Structure 1
Amino acid sequence: MNDFQALKNVQSVNSTPLSNKSSLQATPKPPSFAATNAVFIGRSIRHSLRNIESLMMAIMLPIMLMLLFTYVFGGAIDSSGNYVNYVVPGIILLCAGFGSSSTAVDVATDMTNGIINRFRTMPISSISVITGHVAASLARNLLATCLVIGVALLVGFRPNATFIEWLGAIGIIILFILTFTWLFAAIGLVTGSPSAASGYGFALLFLPYLSSAFVPTNTMPSWMQGFANHQPITPVIETIRGLLMGTPVLNNPWWAIGWCVALLVIAISWCILAFRKNGGK
């Protein structure tokens, strides 16, 4: 069953003709917001499962980076062998960033291949196609994050977090993934092609390298420390590291939540305005 037929089926279920004559004259009720989003989420998940190369790259690249930093650079950075415990929180966010970046390409593809014009002719909220991509990306990235953590445990990652601290860390990771996915969706909406969306979105993936993900910020040049300490990624990483490894979190959780919520509001607003500017509804 294709996406159009699924939406039509939802629409027909919501209509209640009383007779054959009245059914010809009755105007079907539009599908509900929840039903429309369910169809688009299913569509995006199916597309993700069919794009095996992109899914594997989103999973394998962070794992390869973790092995690289642990076994190649780790001895030079931390000769005690505990570098894996330091670097895993940063790798988790890097994994989330790489996984979310494909959303920009997916959204740009939908905006340029004509499918959105077809959706706009239907009695639905066509912006649900964006929420479908976001929800599918969230599910895909959570799966990738679980695999990355599993590999990290195999190579020596030893968190000492309690159950509540694990829940807190997972909550911060979900909020971060949601924020960056909406940001990438907005990039996909305002760029003119999938290749441009990929290029612009890639710029966001440099932020973890300019944070405390791989080395403490106090080891950086003084002119770089100001940016590294006050950009959004650093408090998120320090919060996850503190929850999982027991390092001091200080006021980093509040900064992490504040940054993510502010960027999330900006990204969602940006998406809505960009979609309407392109004639969406």
Structure 2
Amino acid sequence: MSSKLGRGLDSLLSKLPESTNSETGITTVKTDFIKPNKYQPRKYFDPDKLLELAESIKENGIIQPIIVTKSDEDNIYELVAGERRLEASKLAGYEKVPVIIRSISPKEMLLFAIIENVQRENLNSIEEAKAYHQLMIEFDMSQAKVAEMMGKDRSTITNTLRLLNLNEAVQEMLIIKLVSSGHCRAILQVEDELQLSFAQKIVEEKLSVRKAEELAKTWGGATPKRATVKTNRKKGIESRLTEKFKLKIKVEERSGKGKVTFHFKNQEELDALISKLEEK
């Protein structure tokens, strides 16, 4: 092969999105050719920690390759695991990153992303709850199956999923750590329309979880026994309906009357709900 032809091939290869090390089997891919994992449950990255990782990568390089899979688009890869490393590498000025290419199913992509983040405790409580809910919706899994797959008690999965019944403003307070998951268990004991004011009370007075649980029993003027029984009954109904329909469900009841609200995010979830309701 002439030197001119060799240089021509090198030039062509340099324009490709990937190159593979024949000794290690690890492929190098241009960061512009890697798109995010659409199943990634993690939505928030601590900017300070991301900068710390970027500095470490500048100093030591990328020690652990990122896992990707080929997408339907030509020369484009989809991230499976390692989004934080990828983003930090970009901050560090890397145009290419080492990757391991795997051929995996959408279910495996979601599981990879969830397991990586849960095991490393990278998800906040709401992201974790949404990840479990996504598993149930996307793959028609029960809470028991999710618990088995994640190696957790079913009660842990159930309690985490219950956080999705929180007022959205309260969910945000949990994400930014104004309140804890323990506080949120107390907040879930009060009526939906009172959750935000109760959460604000907890923050303003810096209540402990125990104090919050005691106050929840009478928040809004309800008697302790009545409030607890009513809340437990409603949450029990919501839990059973969520298990059956694999959707977030809200039950509102007053004096024996009320409504049940099904929350769906897309046409597929609505179609699935209608099919279940039409089952005999």
Report the TM-score when normalising by structure 2.
0.23
Higher strand share: 2
Q: Which has the larger Rg? A: 2
Report the TM-score when normalising by structure 1.
0.23
Higher helix share: 1
